A and B are shown apart, each in its own frame.
Chain A
Amino acid sequence: MSEGSASGVPHLPGMEVRPVERNVYEVQIGPSHPGSGHMRIIVELDGDVMVRVDPDIGFVHRTMEKLAEGRGWIKNIPLFERMAILDACNTTLPYVEAVEKLLDIEPPERAKYLRALLCEINRIASHLYGIGIFAVFLGHSTIYMWAFGDREVFVQLAEDLTGARLTHSYPVFGGVRRDIPDDFPQNARKAVRYMRYRLDEYAKIYLNNPNIRKRLEGVGVISKTKAAELGIVGPNARASGIKYDVRLVEPYEAYPELDFEIPVFEEGDSLARAWQRVEEIKQSLNIIEQAVDWLEKHPREGFMHDKFWKTAPKLYKDVYEGNIPYAGKYRVKLMPLFATLKVPPGKAAARVEAGRGEIFYYVESDGKEVPYRVRVITPSFRNVIAFKYVMPGHRLMDLPAIYGSFDYFPPEWDR
């Protein structure tokens, strides 16, 4: 907190005063900076070398844990989605899984594949966003434009599936909200083919570009033990040699039956982190193909658990079958039981691998219509500690090369 012993400095409420050493030049890469996003990094420089880095976060804090205690169970799903709207399905899935553990129900098989499909689409969109932002911090605007243009393909695919481009709110307790339309499998296969071709072009102009390689090789090296000590998650940890992915160690949804690999790199520098994301996109494309094949082959029965589906009025079932001509097929509204859902008392925890890492929820209920306590830890929040311990010793121009490679997302870490 603020020290009051600085001489002659007026003290206003909310003001923090701290002494600064001599011969150190303090620069604040602050919130209104074209290369920073909604955060502030207080950097103390000795010449061109950073001596101390202090992340000062909290600019986008939206008090989601407190808000969740005042809303009904189903209303919290759109709330928690806004933490990281880029991969909306991954961010709300652990909440839904934890509440399903409390309700003691399990979604049907088709719903599990549908959830896994949307998770992978969101993962690709999130990785492309990270690649684009990282490139523009290094001055390479071509990959920025390409990545965001290619991300559009997957956002439109998600719109076909769920009806919304970014704010899906797709997993609900007991299943998902809708089933896939009839022309979805061929669109998905076209998108997968297109993205595979584009990834080769990315490698040619960006990852194998000698300019970019010189900038990224050997910068921000995190060794395996240091990564385990700091608790870094996601592609950042896998690029340091730790083979840990929640889809592998504690499989959820349809992942026990899907066949994919986890790429792991040993070097742990920024270039390895950039390559890690490109390789993960390739694996996600494989998963999408397998999921779409399974969904096409198996008959459409039950995307929602019977406990909720049997309370739906007859109109919903008519619309689902396609008997109402103007209303489309396989589209239903939300089950009315959700509005007044009361979850039996208990405590549960669940974790899921989001695009940026492992996201963890702890849900506690005491039998009412609102949760008693929801604790959420997002992957970007667990990566903030790396700013403090990895950056000192590097030059000032390495600052965007390091924090861009962590794929930071301030709204996610502030919640």
Chain B
Amino acid sequence: MDMVTAAKVFSDIGWGLFHYIIFYPPVYQFIIIPGLVAALVVVVFMIWFERKAAARVQMRYGPLEISPRTGGAPQLIADLIRYTVQELIIPSAADFFAFIVAPNAMLILSLLPMVAVPMTSISEYWPIPMGYSLLIAVALSTLAPIFTVVMAWASNNKFSVLGGVRESFIIVAYELIAVISLLSVVPLLHTFNLVDIVNYQMSGIWLGLLNPIALLDLFIAILMSTSGFPFEIPDSETELVAGPFTEYSGLIYGINMGGGYIRRWAFSVLMTLVFLGGWAPYRPGPGILLGYFVPSLIVVVKATIVMAIMSFLRAVYGRYRLDQALSLAWEVLIPLAFAAFGISVAEAFFGVHP
């Protein structure tokens, strides 16, 4: 009698844990997939992949010593441990509150768009049921970069200020391109709802094929506005020590360096859902696993492939000069983004539908 009650209590607790805590949509979206846990796992994998892929192009091995059989994968864990136990040095002339708060705010705000992004088409698994999820996700993604400028100002260092000014120039130009490219699908499909956008792509033709200019523009905009070598102009090591991140050490430095990758992850998820089909061609079945877990995994895999392509470009390109990058944005890419918008309108006019 007691054993049966104990087993039932445990299974009840397990079911409750499963349904109301882990797979509870707001918690699952923001913390597990595609939120904090998925972002960190993908970022760790992506840093390892970047180092290995770049090393193979450059005729060397990359991280290898730490465990030759797994190809040096625990190297990243070792680096993370090093960052957590390193001493935090805060310069006495820096603005203390802004210095400490800005990187953390950047990390949280980079992940904030994940709150509005649905991972499946079954309505009970949406975090916040809304009909304007694309618009809200795009708007939330523009909140984070101001904190880089706050970091630059709070560091009280000439190189940081130069880096912060460059960051503000670049962000204004390239985020505009990203926003226009992401929103250019709206005239074609007459909806802001990400679930409807993915459902339209279930028939096999992804929106990236219908509007390749918008896809290309978005790819370039993500590369330039999320600070990855060698496209990080605010952060360029050989001219400005580390730009806005110069005075940081220890765990906050780790957050800064990883924060760029997390912002790139958020944009990659949005790009996957809008242009690369989301969880198509899989139709979510009933039940929590088939209906929630599997589609989200498919989205994670696709977004990881997009990030891997961006990491591979590290081995091929050099760094652009600031005014060349800005003239590229304002003279070439923004007209292209408007052209993508026009292509969408034209396709809607002629009745081309996925």
Is chain B found bound to chain A in the same assembly? Answer: yes
Tell which of B60, B229, B238 touches A145, judged by Cβ atoms closer than 8 Å: B60
- CB contacts under 8 Å to A, within B42-68, are 54, 57-60
Quote the shortest CB–CB distance from A205 to chain B (angstroms). Answer: 7
A205 to B323, CA, bound (A): 23
Which B residue's beta carbon lies closest to that of A144?
B58
Tell which of B57, B162, B318, B322 touches A139, judged by Cβ atoms closer than 8 Å: B318
Asked, given contacts A35-B237, A395-B321, A397-B322, whether A139 binds B59 with beta carbons under 8 Å apart, the answer is no
Tell which of B57, B239, B323 touches A399, judged by Cβ atoms closer than 8 Å: B239
Residues of B with C-beta under 8 A to A401: 321
Stretch from B121-129, B282-290, B309-317 that touches the partner: B309-317
A358 to B244, CA, bound (A): 42
Residues of A with C-beta under 8 A to B58: 141-142, 145-146, 149
Flag if A400 contacts B238 (CB, 8 Å): yes
Quote the shortest CB–CB distance from B51 to chain A (angstroms). Answer: 11
A136 to B230, CA, bound (A): 10
Residues of A with C-beta under 8 A to B132: none
Quote the shortest CB–CB distance from B170 to chain A (angstroms). Answer: 13
A146 to B58, CA, bound (A): 6
Quote the shortest CB–CB distance from B57 to chain A (angstroms). Answer: 6
Stretch from A63-71, A206-214, A277-285, A365-373 that touches the partner: A206-214
Residues of A with C-beta under 8 A to B318: 135, 138-140, 209, 211-212, 215
- CB contacts under 8 Å to A, within B6-63, are 54, 57-60
A74 to B139, CA, bound (A): 74
Residues of A with C-beta under 8 A to B316: 142, 205, 209
A141 to B55, CA, bound (A): 10
Q: How many residues of B contact A (CB 8 A)?
A: 26
A159 at the interface (CB under 8 A from B): no
A141, A214, A395, A400, most chain B CB atoms within 10 A: A141
A327 at the interface (CB under 8 A from B): no
Flag if B317 contacts A140 (CB, 8 Å): yes
A145 to B314, CA, bound (A): 13
Flag if A27 contacts B158 (CB, 8 Å): yes
Residues of B with C-beta under 8 A to A212: 318
A353 to B162, CA, bound (A): 41
Which A residue's beta carbon lies closest to that of B323?
A395
Tell which of B57, B59, B239 touches A396, judged by Cβ atoms closer than 8 Å: B239
B 119-163 to A, binary, CB cutoff 8 A, 1 in contact else 0: 000000000000000000000000000000000000000110010
Flag if B317 contacts A209 (CB, 8 Å): yes
B96 at the interface (CB under 8 A from A): no
B101 at the interface (CB under 8 A from A): no
Quote the shortest CB–CB distance from A237 to chain B (angstroms). Answer: 26
A29 to B158, CA, bound (A): 11
Quote the shortest CB–CB distance from B78 to chain A (angstroms). Answer: 22
Residues of B with C-beta under 8 A to A27: 158-159, 162
Secondary structure of the A contact surface, majority rule: helix
Asked, given contacts A33-B241, A149-B60, A396-B239, whether A141 binds B315 with beta carbons under 8 Å apart, the answer is yes
A136 to B314, CA, bound (A): 12
B54, B162, B239, B314, most chain A CB atoms within 10 A: B239
Asked, given contacts A27-B162, A145-B60, A209-B318, whether A397 binds B230 with beta carbons under 8 Å apart, the answer is no
Which B residue's beta carbon lies closest to that of A396?
B239
Asked, given contacts A27-B162, A145-B60, whether A139 binds B230 with beta carbons under 8 Å apart, the answer is yes
A398 at the interface (CB under 8 A from B): yes
A137 to B316, CA, bound (A): 15
A266 at the interface (CB under 8 A from B): no
Flag if B320 contacts A214 (CB, 8 Å): yes
Residues of B with C-beta under 8 A to A140: 230, 317-319
Residues of A with C-beta under 8 A to B54: 141-142
Quote the shortest CB–CB distance from B246 to chain A (angstroms). Answer: 11
Asked, given contacts A140-B230, A395-B323, whether A211 binds B238 with beta carbons under 8 Å apart, the answer is no
Flag if B59 contacts A215 (CB, 8 Å): no
Quote the shortest CB–CB distance from B53 to chain A (angstroms). Answer: 11
A209 to B315, CA, bound (A): 12
Which A residue's beta carbon lies closest to that of B319?
A139
B 217-258 to A, binary, CB cutoff 8 A, 1 in contact else 0: 000000000000110000011110100000000000000000
Which B residue's beta carbon lies closest to that of A29?
B239
Quote the shortest CB–CB distance from A29 to chain B (angstroms). Answer: 8
Which B residue's beta carbon lies closest to that of A28?
B158
Quote the shortest CB–CB distance from B192 to chain A (angstroms). Answer: 36
B5 at the interface (CB under 8 A from A): no
A214 to B230, CA, bound (A): 15
A215 to B54, CA, bound (A): 22
B 319-348 to A, binary, CB cutoff 8 A, 1 in contact else 0: 111111000000000000000000000000
Asked, given contacts A27-B158, A141-B58, whether A35 binds B323 with beta carbons under 8 Å apart, the answer is no
Quote the shortest CB–CB distance from B159 to chain A (angstroms). Answer: 7
Which B residue's beta carbon lies closest to that of A35?
B238
A48 at the interface (CB under 8 A from B): yes
Flag if B238 contacts A215 (CB, 8 Å): no
Can you show 8 pairs from A to B with CB atoms below 8 A apart? A35-B238, A138-B318, A139-B319, A141-B58, A211-B318, A215-B319, A395-B322, A401-B321
Residues of A within 8 A of B (CB): 25, 27, 29, 33-35, 48, 135-142, 145-146, 149, 205, 209, 211-212, 214-215, 395-401
Apart from A35-B238, A397-B321, list 18 A-B contacts with CB within 8 A: A135-B318, A136-B238, A138-B238, A139-B230, A139-B317, A141-B314, A141-B315, A142-B58, A145-B58, A146-B59, A149-B58, A149-B60, A209-B317, A211-B320, A212-B318, A214-B324, A215-B318, A396-B239
Query: What are the 6 closest A-B residue pairs judged by CB atoms, nearest first?
Result: A35-B238, A139-B319, A145-B58, A140-B318, A139-B230, A138-B318
